Amino acid sequence: MLKKIRNIVLILLFVGIFIWTFYYLYQKSQTPPEVFQTTQAFDTTIIKKTVATGSVTPRKEVNMKSQVSGIIEKLFIVAGQQIKQGDVIAKIKIIPNMLNLANAESRVNAAQLAYDNSKIEFDRNQILYNQQVISKADFLLVENKLKSMAEELSAAKNNLQIIKEGVSNASGAVSNTFVKATISGMVLDVPVKEGGQVIESNTFNEGTTLCSVANMGEMIFEGKLDESEVGKVQAGMDIVLSIGAIDKSSFKAKLEYIAPKGVTENGAIQFLIRASISKDNSAFLRAGYSANADIILAKKDKVMALPEGVIQFEKEKTYVEVEKGNQHFEKRYIKTGQSDGINIEVLSGLKKGEKVKMPILADDKKEKH
């Protein structure tokens, strides 16, 4: 009897395990119902913009050059220093050209000989004039000749002194051996050193740059805009600048110039744009900072919008799937407006609070499987 009961229990246990295994495998083989996530329309600000890359530069930047050739005897400025118009930035030591020096010395000698001869002639004619042997008109001719020779001698000596020293006694305090600043501002760069040679700036030569000076109180943005975007912008548009070197800070600017002619860069046509940077932000901007300019093409505040990813298209119409309850959705055509690439304005066809189906992306499907 005991043996019979044991056999019945074993049979029931085996049948139970078999039924549970079959049920478990059946449940595993069933596909779970697909549950869609939903979203709702919300109020937001939609800004349509285009982006240009470039850098921050001073509006006024001037290279200071020497008017004479020679050796830099003394530099009076360093990079980062504030200077005023008229401040001396360098002193140049003249290294005279031997040919010019020889010609100048020869001119002085010739002028000295001519003056000495005129002086002898003047002295002789003055005695004759005092004795009333010659007329006053004849004496004045000799006197004017002496004065003329004296002026020529003085000019020759001044020319020789200028060639030797870069300054003459007649010029007084005026000297082109001292290079002076032509504008007020900050010294950005000093590419030369004391003892270096400089070439004068003239009609045929640009000359050696001693330093570059800029007014750092008036900065501009200069960048390039692709030809596909340049037709959408115009002077006067607002710009928001993002500067990589200054975190968590943006700068307001206003577009003031668009180049009428583009240039080819890497196979694409680029147009130069320029924008004036507002002085509202107190952060110090250094020349050469790289920056991205968000040019605001259009802006709408407090509009009803949806994520652009929920919008579906059917020929030239747009629609969304609105939940009617318990994961049941119906197609509804809507009219859309401005988009910023992430959110899109809903003009009609949808009310606030209605739930809209969000499509399942391919990556999400892979994760489920």
Tell me the domain boundaries of the chain: 38-46+301-368, 50-59+217-299, 62-213
CATH 2.40.30.170 assigned to domain 50-59+217-299? The reply is yes
Q: What is the pLDDT of residue 42?
A: 87
Q: What is the pLDDT of residue 272?
A: 93
**Residue 182 contacts residue 85 (beta carbons within 8 Å):** yes
Q: What is the pLDDT of residue 33?
A: 61
* Residue 267 burial (10 A CB sphere; 0-12, 13-18, 19+): exposed
**Residue 20 contacts residue 27 (beta carbons within 8 Å):** no
Q: What is the pLDDT of residue 4?
A: 73
The ranges of the chain with pLDDT < 70 are: 1-2, 26-34, 97-98, 165-176, 360-369
Q: What is the pLDDT of residue 170?
A: 57
Q: What is the pLDDT of residue 75?
A: 93
Q: What is the pLDDT of residue 362?
A: 45
Q: What is the pLDDT of residue 175?
A: 56
Q: What is the pLDDT of residue 279?
A: 80
**Amino acid at residue number 234:** Q
Do domains 50-59+217-299 and 62-213 share one topology? The answer is: no
**Residue 329 contacts residue 357 (beta carbons within 8 Å):** yes
What are the pLDDT digits (tens) for 18-34? 787 777 776 666 556 66
Q: How is domain 62-213 classified at the architecture level of CATH? A: Beta Barrel (2.40)
* Residue 271 burial (10 A CB sphere; 0-12, 13-18, 19+): buried
pTM: 0.60
Q: What is the pLDDT of residue 174?
A: 45
* Residue 29 burial (10 A CB sphere; 0-12, 13-18, 19+): exposed
For domain 38-46+301-368, give the CATH number: 2.40.420.20
Separation of first and last alpha carbons in the chain: 53
What are the pLDDT digits (tens) for 298-317? 888 888 898 888 888 888 88
Residue whose C-alpha is closest to residue 327's, from 38, 42, 41: 38
